[in-house]
Amino acid sequence: MTEKEKQQAGELYNGNDPELIAERVAAKKLCAEYNSAQYNDYQKKERLLDRLLALRGENTWIEANFFCDYGYNIIIGDNFYSNHNCVILDCAEVIFGNNVFIGPNCGFYTAGHPIDAEQRNKGLEYAKPIKVGDDVWIGGNVCVMPGVTIGSNTVIGGGSVVVDDIPADSVAVGNPCRVIRKITEKDKM
């Protein structure tokens, strides 16, 4: 089994594998080109996202600076907006539903490292997928950790560190992020 196959299977793998390094370099080059493109060169930015991401829906806008590890594990639905300085460590799949809005300085981290120092020092790591449902708003400076699912129609408050799944129709905040209440009809303006 190759290191990439181990990675995609959620097993421990060597992140310093030459194939994985080459794929990260290719993605970093596309991110650098995207980040340096003129702000209003929409066609160029769309072409770069099409080359970088596995799949994206209509009306995708990602503010510079944007960084990811591979790109081919990122799937984005329709009407997606990410503010400045989004980081997606997509060693495993990261799926965003439709109508997802992400504040500045947010990170989605599928990558993790063993607690055991001997394994960690060998360069071993693992990856667990992240899934974000439809109609989700994620405030600024939020970190979403490996293996987390955020349900649809949910708001994650700024500065949160999401370490566990968050159910649909929730307002959640904190470190660690916890549901503070359900979204109700009273929330409609």
Q: Which residues are catalytic?
A: 113
As separate numbers, helices (DSSP H) first and strands (DSSP E) second, the chain gives 4, 20
Find the distance separating the first CA and the last CA of the chain, reported in whole Å: 54
**By the 8 A CB rule, do 78 and 59 touch?**
yes
Degrees, nearest 5: CA angle 99-147-12:
140
DSSP-derived pairing of the beta strands 161-162 and 143-144: parallel
**How far apart (Å, rounded) are the C-alpha atoms in residues 176 and 161?**
5
CB atoms within 10 A of CB 9: 12
Q: Is 69 helix (H, G, I), strand (E, B) or coil?
A: coil
